[in-house]
Chain A
Amino acid sequence: MLDGLGLLLGGITHFLTPLSLFNIAWATLLGIVIGALPGLTATMGVALLVTLTYKMAPDQAILCLMCIYSGAIYGGSRTAILLAIPGTPASAATTLDGHPLALQGKAGLAMGLATTSSALGTIIGIIALALIAPLLAEAALKFGTYEFFWLALFGVVISGQLTAMDDPLKGYIAGILGLMVAMVGMETLHAHQRFTFGISALGGGVDLIPAMVGAFGLAEILGVMKRTVHARIVSSGDRVVPKFNEILKYWRTTLRSGIIGTFVGIVPGVGEDVGAWASYAAAKRSSKEANLFGKGSQEGLIAAETGNSAVVPGAMIPTLTLALPGSAAAAVLIAAMFIHGIRPGPLLMTESPEVLYQIVAVLLFSTLAILIFGLTLTKPLLTVLAVPRERLMAVVYVLCVVGSFAITQRMFDIYVMVFFGIAGFILREMKFPMAPLVLGIILGDLLDLNLRRGLMLTNGDPTPFFTRPISAVICLIIVFTILMSIPAVSKRVKAVLGRGKKEEIPKQA
C-alpha cells in the first residue's frame, strides 16, 4: 500500500516539469476540441494523434494520448448541451437533459455541472484504477495459456453483447469479423502465413492503427457528410461555475454513476457510451425526481457525465493489467504503447510498475486541466462549434491519409484505411457495433496463440480449458452470456425468475 503511495507520488512529480505540463495543457485542450466537434470522436482523435506523438519520448507520448482521450470524452458534452448533437457517442445520454437545460436558459449551469461531474467521475475511476489494477495484475500472474484464451473470447463476446443490446447477434458477428481480420498474416506458433494470397504486405497482418483510422475516421466522415441537418447553437449568458451545493446536492448519484462507469470501463470493449447510458438509467430508476428526466434534470445530466468520464480510468484497468482493451480508444492506446516499447499485461506491474502510476498521475492532471478549461473557455469553445463541417471533414480526411501512412510509410496502410473506412461505414449503417470488431482485431492473436499453445502443451487434450478453476468460471460466464442473448432462452429464464418474485411478494405483505 505504502509502496503504491510512493509510486503514485513519484508519478505525479515525474510530470511536474514544464514540458509535461505544457503537453498536458495542449493535449487536453485539443482533446476537448476534438470531442466538441461532431464527427470527431475520442477514438479517432487518439488514433490520429498516435502519428503525431510517434517521435516523442514514450512517457510524453502516452501522456498526450491519455489527455486527448479524457479531454475528448468530456468535450462531447459541450456539443450535447448547446446543439443537442452528441459531440462523441459518449455524450448521447447528456443531450437528453443537457439540451433541455440550455433551452431553459441554463446553458451555463449545464456546462458547469457537466464539467464538475466529469471531473468527479474521472476521480472515482482514478481511485479504482490505483486500487484495483495492482491487485488484478497480481491475480493475473496466475493466469496461464488456458485462462488467456478464455479471457480473449470473453472480451469479444461480452463486448458484442453489451454494445448491441437490442441485437446481440450483430455484436457477435462484428466480433467474429474482427477476429477473422486478425487471422490474416503470419501466425506466431509455427510462423505459417495465413490468407495472404501472395501479397507480401499482408504477411505482417493488418495493422491496428490504419484499420482504426479507417473504421473511426473515414467511416465517421461518411456518416457525418451523409446528413444535411444543421443544428442551431443555443447560447446563454448565465453563470458557468456552479455553486457547491449544486454539485453536492446529488452526491449519491455522482458516487453511484462513478462506480457504474468504472465497472463498465473494466468490462472489455464496452466503452463510454454504455457507461453513460447505464448510469443514466440507474439514476432515473432510483431518483425521487424521475419525472424530470429528459426535461432538463440536473441529476440526469450529472449521471450521464459522471458515468462516461469514469469509464476512461476504468477502461485502463484491464488495458494495463491484462492487455484487454477496456474501450475502443484503449485498444488504440495498447497499439501505441507497443509502438513505444511499453508492454501492457500481467508483467507490467513487475517489469515497470511506474507506468501504472504515471497513467494515474496523467489522468489526475488532465482532470485538473479539464476543470480549468471547461469552466473558463466558454466563448472560445463556442467558436469551435461554429466551424462548418464541409470545411472540417476535408481536412480530417487528409489527416486520416497521412495518419495511416506515417507510421510504417507504406501505401498499403492507406489502402487498409480506405477498406476499413468503407466496410466500417456499411456495417455501422446496418447497426453492427464497431467496438467488438476492434476488440476482435486486437485479441485475435491472443485467442489463436493461446488456444493452440494450450493444445500443444497437453498434446491435444482440451480438458484443462474446462477443468482449471479460473478457466471453468470464465467459460461458464461466456456460455451463460451467449445463452441469455437468445430470446427464447432469456424469456424462459426471466419467466422462471419472475415467478419466484411474485411468490415472494405475498410473503412480504
Chain B
Amino acid sequence: MTTPDDADQTAGDEHSPAMIRADLLAALALIILAVAMLYGSWTMDRLELRRIQPLTAPGLVPGLLSAALLVCGLILAIRSMRLPAPGGWTSLGAAITSGPARRVGVVLLLALTYTLGLVGLLPFWLATGLFVFAFILVFETWLAEPRRSLLQSAPWAIGIAVATAAIVTFVFERAFLVRLP
C-alpha cells in the first residue's frame, strides 16, 4: 500500500511510462538470474554415486523455481514491451538522477562506509559515533529544506552520536555480553 506522498515521488505509479520501462530492466535481470540458476541446478551434483532416487536430486526444486521465475520474467518483459510508454526512458532516467535518488545515494554511501569500511577498522564505538554524527550533519545542514546552520545542528549531532555510541556499546558488551565487531 502506498502512502499519498509516496505515489508522486517514486519512479511512478503502476502503469506510468517510467515504471513500464523499469519493469523491462527488472525483467531482463530476472531472466538472467533464472537462466543462471537453471544452469546451476541442471549441472548440480545429482548424487548418483549415492544411488538416491533421481527425482530427489538437490537440483530439483531450484530448477523448478528458476523455470517459474523464467516464465514470470518473460511475461513481465513481454507485457512491458507491449504497453505504450511515451517518454518512459527519459522519465525513468530523470527519476534515477533526481533529488530523492541523490538522497538515497548519500544514505547508502554513509551506511556502506560505516558498515563495510569503518566497522572492523576502528573500535565499534568510534565508528558508530562518527557515522551518527556525519549522518545527522549531512541531512540537516546540506540535504535539508530548509537547511539548518552548522551551529544549530552540530551540538545535537555530537550529543546523539556520543549517546548512541555509549549506550549501544554499553548495553551490548556489558548487558548482553556480545563481542561487538
Contacts and interface: CB of A to CB of B under 8 A. Distances in A.
A456 interface: yes
A402 B168 contact: yes
B81 to A, nearest CB: 14
A202 interface: no
Interface stretch (A59-67, A236-244, A423-431, A498-506): A423-431
A222 B60 contact: no
A411 B22 CA distance: 33
Interface in B1-55: 1-6, 9-11, 14, 19, 22-23, 26, 30, 37, 40, 44-45, 47, 50, 52-55
A226 B9 contact: yes
A422 B108 contact: yes
Contact of A390 (B30, B100, B144, B178): B144
Contacts of B11: 429-430
Nearest to A417: B115
Interface of A is mostly: helix
Nearest to A174: B72
A429 B25 CA distance: 13
B83 to A, nearest CB: 12
Given A183-B65, A194-B62, A431 B19 contact: yes
Nearest to A433: B1
A225 B139 contact: yes
B37 to A, nearest CB: 7
Given A222-B107, A394-B132, A451-B61, A173 B72 contact: yes
A84 interface: yes
A176 to B, nearest CB: 5
A463 interface: no
Interface centre among A390, A395, A397, A448 (most CB of B within 10 A): A390
Interface centre among A169, A190, A399, A431 (most CB of B within 10 A): A431
Contact of B160 (A84, A85, A179, A391): A391
A447 B62 CA distance: 11
B6 to A, nearest CB: 8
B19 to A, nearest CB: 7
A92 interface: yes
A402 B62 contact: no
Interface centre among B10, B56, B120 (most CB of A within 10 A): B56
Contact of B5 (A85, A173, A187, A406): A85
A86 B116 CA distance: 33
Contact of B44 (A189, A194, A226, A455): A194
Given A401-B119, A431-B14, A227 B9 contact: yes
A104 interface: no
Contact of A394 (B10, B160, B178): B160
Given A183-B65, A430-B26, A391 B136 contact: yes
B104 interface: yes
Contact of A402 (B22, B52, B156, B172): B172
A418 B116 contact: yes
Interface centre among B111, B119, B178 (most CB of A within 10 A): B111
A194 B104 CA distance: 34
Interface string B164-181: 100010001000101111
B18 to A, nearest CB: 10
Interface in A46-69: 51-52, 54-55
Contacts of B68: 172, 176
Interface centre among A179, A226, A456 (most CB of B within 10 A): A226
Interface in B121-143: 128, 131-132, 135-136, 139-140
A167 interface: yes
A180 B62 contact: yes
B180 A402 contact: yes
Interface in B49-98: 50, 52-56, 58-62, 65-66, 68-69, 72-73, 75-76, 79
**Top-4 shortest CB links A-B:** A394-B135, A390-B139, A192-B58, A452-B56
18 contacts: A85-B5, A172-B72, A177-B69, A190-B47, A192-B58, A228-B99, A229-B5, A393-B107, A395-B132, A398-B128, A405-B178, A409-B178, A418-B116, A422-B108, A430-B26, A452-B56, A452-B61, A460-B53
Interface of A: 51-52, 54-55, 84-86, 89, 92-93, 95, 166-167, 169-170, 172-173, 176-177, 179-180, 183, 187, 189-190, 192, 194-195, 218, 221-222, 225-229, 273, 277, 388, 390-391, 393-395, 397-399, 401-402, 405-406, 409, 411, 414-415, 418, 422, 425, 429-431, 447-448, 451-453, 455-456, 459-460
